Amino acid sequence: MGSLAYREDLEEEKSSAFTWEVKANNRAYNNQFKEKAFLCWQRKKYKGNVIHTAKYNFFSFLPLNLYEQFHHTSNLYFLFIIILQGIPDISTLPWFTLFTPLVCLLVIRGTRDLVDDIGRHRSDKIVNNRPCQVLVGKSFLRKKWKNLHVGDLVCLHKDNMVPADILLLASTEPNSLCYVETADIDGETNLKFRQALMVTHNELTSVRKMASFQGKVVCEEPNSQMHHFVGCLEWEGKKYPLDINNILLRGCKIQNTDTCYGMVIYAGFDTKIMRNCGKIHLKRTKIDRLINRLVVLIFMSLVLISTALTLGFWYKVTEFKAKHHYVSKIHVHSVATESFFIFWGFLILLSVMVPMAMFIIAEFIYLGNSIFINWDVQMYYEPHDMPAKARNTSLTDQLGQVEYVFSDKTGTLTENIMTFKKCCINGIVYELACLPPPSPLQENPYLWNRFADGKLLFHNARLLSTVLGKKDRMVQEFWRLLAICHTVMVQEKGNQLLYEAASPDEEALVTAARNFGYVFLARTQDSITVMELGKERVYQVLAMMDFNSIRKRMSVLVRSPEGSIYLYTKGADTVIFDRLYNKGLTECTTEEALASFAQQTLRTLCLAYKKVDEDSYEEWHHRHQEASIRLQNRAHALHQVYNEMEQNLQLLGATAIEDKLQDGVLETIQCLKQGNIKVWVLTGDKQETAVNIGFACQLLSEDMIILEEKEIVQILDTCWENNNLLNGKGCLKNWFPSQIKMAMVINGEFLDQLLLSLRKESRALMQNVNVNMESWQEPEEQKTKFLQTRRISLMWQTLGTQLRNRGLGPQSKDSGIHESPEVRQEQAFVELALRCHAVICCRVTPKQKALIVALVKQYQDVVTLAIGDGANDVNMIKTADIGVGLAGQEGMQAVLNSDYVLAQFCFLRRLLLVHGRWSYMRVCKFLRYFVYKTLASMMVQIWFAFYSGFTAQPLYEGWFLAFYNLLYTTFPVLYIGLFEQDVSAKRSLELPELYITGQKDQLFNYWVFLQAIAHGTATSLINFFMTLWIIHDTAGPLSFSDYQSFSVVVGLSCLLSITIEAILIIKYWTVLFVLAILFSLCLYMVTTWASQSFQLFIISPKTFPFLYADRNVMFHPSVLLMVLLNVSLNILPVLALRIIYQALKKPYPKEKEETPTEGIITMELPPYLQQASCRRRSSYAFSHREGYADLITQGTILQRSPGVNGNMLPGHRIPSDEELDPSIKESPWYHRKSFLKKRHQHSGKVSSEDMQPTSMVSSSLTVEGQFSFTKNVAASTKWQSRSSHEKLPRKQARPYSHPGSLPATKERPPSPRESQLPLSESRPLPSGQSYLQSQPASLEEKMTFWKMSLLSQKSLPYIWQKEPQPHQEAPLPNETHTPVVEILPPSRGDSSTSQQLMELMEVEPLPAERQLSPKE
């Protein structure tokens, strides 16, 4: 991360000023804003909506690609040699002999890059040409995305992708709600809702009014914060605050909303998702970087050798001129000049030590191994017709060296499909029965139910017969609770019921009840209709107490058709069991079932209910009304009131839902762990959900110590206090012994505070106190969070001061040689993370995912791989050394930016352990062999120089040098690089430990390179000097002591020696390899016979001087014996050494657990490392956000709004186009029909008086009849005032006899277990505030410091906080403002008492304390 991330953060901090002004329907106004581009040149400040993710264009391809290719040191080396060859005085070889292969190499690599970039251009073209509807004049016309500009008004329909960051102005949903799916942004597929401002909802009711809309948005500059937005709308002299809940981000998908309208705020690369996409990085493998260093090393060696040979030439030429003055015309220049030319001549002659052929053949090897990946049928996913694909052909060898895998969760590890697996009712566990395959008539046991969707895989004949028997009251109440206690919405489509849930878990539970005959049909503001085994029943909803992770439960208070009042509650077992009025055998059996479900990593909920008598309800209703209108501590009061009702419950049972993993995920992760590959999960999902998946994947286990924010800070703090951080790297490794298995679970907010708190502390604190308004806490609570954040910063500031005082830190700005405290901070954190067996990062943004990968790459020399399936994973995929995109359900953005494409996560196992390991082994063996054969043949030139007067005369025939790497040795080398296998694919999967070889760089490193040099040098010495020794002092017609014969014998000995070496090192023999050997030898014979033929000699004697040299030598038996002797001396000693080495080599001992030493570990762990109680069996209840309870009880979500009506239809002409979604053809203003027309519906339009300002106080209670919001508040004043803290009389619990005899709602004393939950139950319940009233909080971000305070050793003050509202992620409170008193317009029927009450009400401040118009 380092300074680069710091600069980016500073730029974002500077851009947080509110200088972004966009005016609707006014391009001329928006185009007047300019920004400085270069020197005095200015450009438009607001970018268009065109995106370009490709690296090159028509003009930049050639220069930019050449610039990238000449980053390879070898290419620079070859270019330098070609320039030298172009100088006639020093050239020993023609310039084109090296120029032609270099051009071929550049063309091959350039073509590969061009093909990849053409794919990006095509993708960009598809995205930029997507259709959308833009307001032009007074009608919406079809335009392309690339034609959008800031300030334009657009119309979106169901299933449309949002083309830019848009301010929502109105929609066809009630109160201009808009439902979106953000899977491409945060990985979550559950629906979220956004809402337009009430002023635009009420005013912009037609196309004509939208055309005249001249509002101006003033907001922050574009940034990468996905869940944060601050701005205001200025319109008609008034200002209206905006936050992220009013914004539709690019990449979102419109769901369950017919039509919505918005104004473009950010376009193109200014959008938040594009700000998180990152840049395309030039990826190079570890072997590639090693070769670059080796090329430099070889070049320096050649310079030294050429210098030494030049000195020899200086001595020889001086001696030659003194003794043979009569031939002085040969040396016309001075000795110094001749030596200078000879130096460059030797450098050119020895340049073949870095063979161009090696790089050309390597490209074909990379391409071939990539094709094998594409052809692997074992990685073909038939359901989607999706094979594996290698989009980058230069990284195959690095697939065999991966040490860290960074994986997304949703869509990558999981299918995001919640399946109802098991249940426990009244102590009896019902699970999927393992029966023989049923007959076709018995295939679906739910055919008797016309409402069954046929998708439920849970079949249990015993449970089904009990349900149909209608005799077991507990079973009836169990399924009735699942059909009633939820916030699911239902709509009809094609005579089918479609459920819309706040989470897939809720939908799975309601769907299970639906298939068992308890069908949720419809709901109104104060009623819910259920079809119970064919009988329709309407329940009056008296109160809804919604889920959140603080309450960990949801309750619904209903009145049955018979007039009885029942409370149905579902939630975490830790909460429900503390509220039971009796604990007997059933409860114990249920707890055992819950433990069993948790061992199977199922997500569980406990279900309970009770009957409430009328008198208790009336008393509770009075207290609830009083609590809901309190001006201070309302959340605290509502918490107590809710808690009073949710007591003395009767346990019904428990449900178990499986967050289904993709096929083979568990086996793949276990296999990767055996191969020493660490898997980190980086997800935008909630912490509890991610932890549950961690247990399901066995990344986490019960014996692990899971470190969260509090423990991490204390560990680092303790290490600092003990001066361990001053010892450099490895301190934490010694601090924690290997016996302690640890895992780390952190979130994005904590990463920002820990890693960036020192260098941008003001920003971190500003985010937590001023900007990060999600928490909606009391001032004391925010002050506590402020101090906790400050403590982390001060810890590292103090560390930096101590380091500087000791001379270990930077003393000044100029002293950059020492590590800064923030660098030490990052090193310590990374070291702790690497010490953990698993790391799970939750609620991280796309940019944070990339920064985590970059952090590991910076401080560890390891190969990283990132795998994901959504647009939120693109930045991570680009940053990692290897990016793998899954062709999932979240679009193709990850695929288009990846290096490899897979259909399933399980194929990663074969990609790494088989193809990756094979490719690494092949490339390493190829490089080692190529270096050996090059030195074996070319080092002879150096030995020959001692006998040629150091004249740089080549020993070999020119054609032998030309064809040596091209024909004579190419095919064995290609076979090694393409087909070599040390073990089979099956064995590679069975022994993942073999993969560790690549991680440790054992097959090709400096030592292996030196071995190859020594081996090649020894071969060249034997071939040259053995031949020279045998032919010494021989002459005559039978002698082969002449120059040409000597050259042929040495060349043939070298060729046969390296061919037999290839035969010995190959482990995978096939017919193809035998043919490659024979074909290479045949090519040598044919080309040698042709180049030494008489016909070619006549044509050009200088080009073909070796006339019949090979033929004359080969017919002498003594020559053949000499060649055989040379080959034997080269092969036998090496073979003997290898056999002896394998015999003496000790097998790798199994890793034994190190015994702890006294200086490292004691028997007792530190207090902050003690195992906490496991909460994962109720992870669903812990992580569930608020549903739609407030919207339901207020009627906001259930009725059409007055601001969206048919008046807009005549002016809105939607052009017909086949590319548009079919849903566009439907009228966007058509009101929903009821599923059953005979069913009574509470419908109607909301009057302007009923649409209260956002500061109105609402209640989650709905009494009989349908009241407007103001009427409810007014009616509440008729009740006699009662303190919200008043206690009900206690009543002792009695044994359970019959559900009808359950005790009425009374308060019981808190149990010891309940009293031990300091913050889990003392936290307030969500208030009944309207969604429009408050700016809610991101629950996960608030949970970060809530957990830290929960685990803190120091007791914190008991503080109550206001609760977040559903699906609000980045609100912006301002605590420096004072509350505003708002006078509400009177409605009909309001009494004077209610008017006085409303005049005296003091509402809570909103972001920037906006002033609301009377009409709003």
d(CA 884, CA 280): 14
Between the CA atoms of 21, 23, 27 and 29, what dihedral angle is there, to the nearest 10 degrees?
-60
Longest dimension (CA), the chain: 135
- What three-state secondary structure class fits 407? strand
Please work out, in degrees rounded to the nearest 5, the angle formed at the alpha carbon of residue 90 by the alpha carbons of 85 and 96.
20
C-alpha span between 1099 and 1101 (Å, rounded): 7
Question: What is the rounded CA–CA span in Å between residue 790 and residue 713?
Answer: 12
DSSP 8-class letter at 161: B
Helix (H, G, I), strand (E, B) or coil at 1007: helix
C-alpha pair distances (Å), 290 with each of 193, 580, 696, 728, 851: 52, 67, 40, 27, 25
- The secondary element (H helix, E strand) that includes residue 1137 is helix 1117-1144
Give the CB-side neighbour count of residue 1153, counting CA atoms within 13 A: 7
Task: Count CA within 13 A, CB hemisphere, residue 1073.
Answer: 19
Residue 884 one-letter amino acid: V
Which two structure tokens, joined as six digits, stand for 21? Answer: 């002004």
Q: Which helix (H) or strand (E) holds 702?
A: none
d(Cα 395, Cα 91) in Å, to the nearest integer?
37
Residues 624 and 1288: their CA atoms lie apart, in Å, by 13
Go through the chain and tell me how many residues it has: 1416
How far from 1156 is each of 584, 721, 1153, 1161, CA to CA, in Å?
A: 46, 22, 9, 6
Beta strand pairing call for 402-407 and 863-868: parallel
Q: Beta-carbon neighbour count of residue 6 at 10 Å?
A: 14
The β-bridge partners of 1087 are none
Pairing of strands 389-390, 900-902: antiparallel
| H helix or E strand, kind and range, residue 293 | helix 286-323
DSSP strand pairing (247-248 vs 165-171): antiparallel
Which residues, 6+ apart, have CB-to-CB distance to 776 below 8 Å?
A: 1334, 1335, 1336, 1337, 1361, 1362, 1363, 1364, 1371, 1373
* Angle, helices 1269-1276/614-628, rounded to nearest 10 degrees: 110
Paired tokens of 460: 């249990």
Q: Which two tokens stand for residue 308?
A: 């030494």
Q: What is the DSSP letter of 1100?
A: -
Catalytic residues: 408
How would you classify the pairing of strands 650-661 and 603-612? antiparallel
Six token digits for residue 355: 């063979």
Euclidean distance between CA atoms 837 and 705, whole angstroms: 10
* Sheet with 20-23, edge to edge strand ranges: 20-23, 216-219, 230-235, 238-243
Task: Enumerate residues 6+ apart whose C-beta is below 8 A from 979.
Answer: 1068, 1070, 1072, 1073
Q: Which residues in 887-1043 belong to E strands, given as ranges? A: 900-902
Tokens standing for residue 221: 């500059």
- Whether the CB-CB separation of 179 and 191 falls below 8 Å is answered with yes
- The beta-strand segments (E) located in 843-946 are 863-868, 882-886, 900-902
- Reduced to 3 states (helix: H, G, I; strand: E, B; else coil), residue 955 is coil
